[in-house]
Structure 1
Amino acid sequence: MSKIRVKGKHVVLSLVCLVLGFLMAFSYHLTQLEMNKGKPNVSDGQWEQTLALRNQLINEEKTNRELQKELSQKQDLVFKNEKDLSKEAEVYENLAEDAEKYRMFLGKVKVKGKGVKITLTDGAYDPKEDNINNYLVHEHHVFKVVNELYISGAAAVAINGQRLTSHSYIICNGPVITVDGIEHPAPFIISAIGDPEVLSSSINLIGGVKDQLVNDNIIFTLEKDNEIVLDPILGS
């Protein structure tokens, strides 16, 4: 009877060991599942390659951000340079316009524009007048007209087509006047480029240049012209 009991205990112990072994194996299996949870079903080599590509992508994105920042800085510099160049171009354009005006004032270039033409003619002969100079056009008559035109904003003035400059001189010599050494007979046509309305209004002021010339027996006419062309000074 004692031998049978010993064998029965062995059987029970074997069953217990079997159950424990099963539980341990099951527990290990669950642990492995938890550890591998979320891990792609790929080989170690593929996993390492994927990780390397991911890191490379991160580095490339970082490099792109740095390049984008550098590009933005370069663009700001380009915009600044363009703005500076625009200012310089504006300055040069203004200088070019000033130079063109100076050449025009000096009579270096041909000019064309609106303006007025004033004609001064000797007065009619009066046998009762002892002094012939009392009805002739003299240099001071021409000076009055020329000065008034310049004061009124004339950009260019000519006498019988001859351009005047700031150094021009006019001399009366009997029935003719000499402009910068060149003689001109009457009538004297004074052409001026500028605003026709302003120039004519200035000349026609009551008690102004026109009235003074008429009082000196000078025949005075004024006409507005939409296109006056003045040639440059000879030898300029």
Structure 2
Amino acid sequence: MKKKPKLKGSQVIFSLVFLVLGYIVAFSYHVTQSDSEKTAISGKQWNRDLELRDQLVELENKNFTLQKELHEKQERVRKIETELSQEAQIYFNLAEDTEKLRMYLGKMGVMGQGVEVILADGAYNPEEENINNYIVHEHHVFKVINELYISGASAIAVNGQRLSHNSYILCNGPVIEIDGYQHPAPFVITAIGNGDVLASALNLTGGVKDSLVNENIQFSLVQKAEIVMEPLLKAS
């Protein structure tokens, strides 16, 4: 029976060295593989982050473009609204002017504050030989009407009959004729307008009232809070 050869000391040492060296190589390979995997994962994450950043930049650019378009359209809408409001104001002014013209022409009924003036024949004076010196004539009525128009009256009527831009007044004996209609004294002249202004104009010292009183005409004036006038009548 053969005996097993004994290991020499140098062989034991070499065995241990090779064993350790193998472990080191295996460990190094494992670490290298792990680092490679981590590097690969990090590269993919970087590419993903870069892609997401590019998408974000693209979305921000689109958002900026859309905001710019929105502001431009809002500005266009504002301009259109301004133009429409200006047109609406123009149409409103035209409608208002039309109403005023209809009112001046007597095509529509009107209502407002104003004054009422009454002209009556003077008291009979036996010492006065000429009767015409104390009765109301058409020129007396004209004085009042002209002063009222000058003072801003928008509508005037005599004994309830409205005057137009081409009305005429004639004296016909004891009555006056307005656009073909006869009216006896006393003559009630109503005017729509600023009552304070109209009354002040007629009551001026040396004005219409003083002139008529000096001609023996009875003159009275009352301010009215509301005067109603019907559309113009036409002579048949």
TM above 0.5: yes
Structure 1 spans left out of the alignment, 5+ residues: 42-46
Counterpart AA for 1:171? L
| Partner Cα separation in structure 2 for residue 23 and residue 227 of structure 1 | 114
Which residue number in structure 1 is paired with residue 33 of structure 2? 29
Counterpart AA for 1:218? I
* Partner SS state of residue 85, structure 1: helix
Deviations 1:16-37 (A, max 9, x none): 7525623541441352254046
Is the alpha carbon distance of 1:6 and 1:86 closer, same or farther for their aligned partners in structure 2, counting shifts above 3 Å?
same
| Partner Cα separation in structure 2 for residue 39 and residue 235 of structure 1 | 102
Identity %: 52
1:144 lines up with 2:148 in the alignment: no
**How far did residue 198 of structure 1 move?**
1.2
More moved, 194-203 vs 10-19? 10-19
- What is the root-mean-square deviation of aligned Cα atoms in Å? 3.4
Counterpart AA for 1:183? Q
More moved, 70-79 vs 203-212? 70-79
Q: TM-score, normalised by structure 2?
A: 0.82
More moved, 140-149 vs 120-129? 120-129
Structure 2 spans left out of the alignment, 5+ residues: 1-7
**How far did residue 59 of structure 1 move?**
5.3
| Partner Cα separation in structure 1 for residue 17 and residue 180 of structure 2 | 147
1:78 lines up with 2:82 in the alignment: no
Q: Please list, as runs of the form range in 1=range in 2, the aligned pairs for 1:105-184 lying within 5 A after superposition.
A: 105-184=104-183
Which residue number in structure 1 is paired with residue 204 of structure 2? 205
Which residue number in structure 1 is paired with residue 95 of structure 2? 96
Counterpart AA for 2:69? E
Which residue number in structure 2 is paired with residue 232 of structure 1? 231
Deviations 1:173-228 (A, max 9, x none): 11111111211111110000111111111111111111111111111111111110
Deviations 1:71-116 (A, max 9, x none): 2322221122111111111111111111111111111111101111
